[in-house]
Chain A
Amino acid sequence: QQKVQQSPESLIVPEGGMASLNCTSSDRNVDYFWWYRQHSGKSPKMLMSIFSNGEKEEGRFTVHLNKASLHTSLHIRDSQPSDSALYLCAASPASSGSWQLIFGSGTQLTVMP
């Protein structure tokens, strides 16, 4: 079973609209959350990270984290066709032991012009 669950699997929003993506970890050992974006045919690139409860905003992108529920969400306002991509949520433990970044299956976002 996937330790990092993402929803929805796919999402279509109109240009200028708001896209909201969700991610939950079933592993209580995780402490750090990441969002990576992967355009078609390209490699994943880190978009945003969040380590503390609350909200973090960078331009049109906002990330929320609720550590109690191990839930993070990514919101993209004023969505652009160039935002169309696979959005991957990842989680990692805060401890310094053997560490690996676990990815969810992703949300495929399509922004329609």
Chain B
Amino acid sequence: NAGVIQTPRHKVTGKGQEATLWCEPISGHSAVFWYRQTIVQGLEFLTYFRNQAPIDDSGMPKERFSAQMPNQSHSTLKIQSTQPQDSAVYLCASSLAWGSAETLYFGSGTRLTVL
């Protein structure tokens, strides 16, 4: 079991450019989550999917962030017109089932740096 796979590990973009982050959840897991982590804000919830359907995107900055899960094997987080304040480690996680008692398994993250 390779765990949750995130690519790329590091991404550097210029201000105003687009960034697309990829996540492959653990095979058989039905829920996928996106978080971002910074020193100042800690680990912030962005959005999650259940069986590929978007359930809650209340943590997403609406104007420039979007997430999709076109199939059960991958999810993408797209940030348009990136800003320096978007610099963070973006973490994807998956859980076997959906529910409050489920353990989240995190990927290694994508470190996004916006110059």
Contact = CB atoms under 8 A, between A and B. Distances in A.
A binds B: yes
Interface of A: 2, 31-32, 34, 36, 42-46, 49, 51, 88, 92-96, 98-106
Interface string B9-32: 000000000000000000000000
- State the majority secondary structure of interface residues on A: loop
B106 A44 contact: yes
Contacts of B108: 42-43
Given A43-B109, A88-B43, A101 B104 contact: yes
Q: Which of B100, B101, B105, B108 counts the most A-chain CB atoms under 10 A from its CB? A: B100
A10 to B, nearest CB: 13
A94 B106 contact: no
A100 B35 CA distance: 11
Interface residues of B, number: 22
Contacts, number: 55
Contacts of B45: 100-103
Interface in B24-61: 33, 35, 42-43, 45, 48, 55-56, 58-59
B100 A93 contact: yes
Given A98-B55, A104-B42, A43 B91 contact: yes
B48 A100 contact: yes
A96 B104 contact: no
B91 A95 contact: no
Interface in B51-100: 55-56, 58-59, 91, 98-100
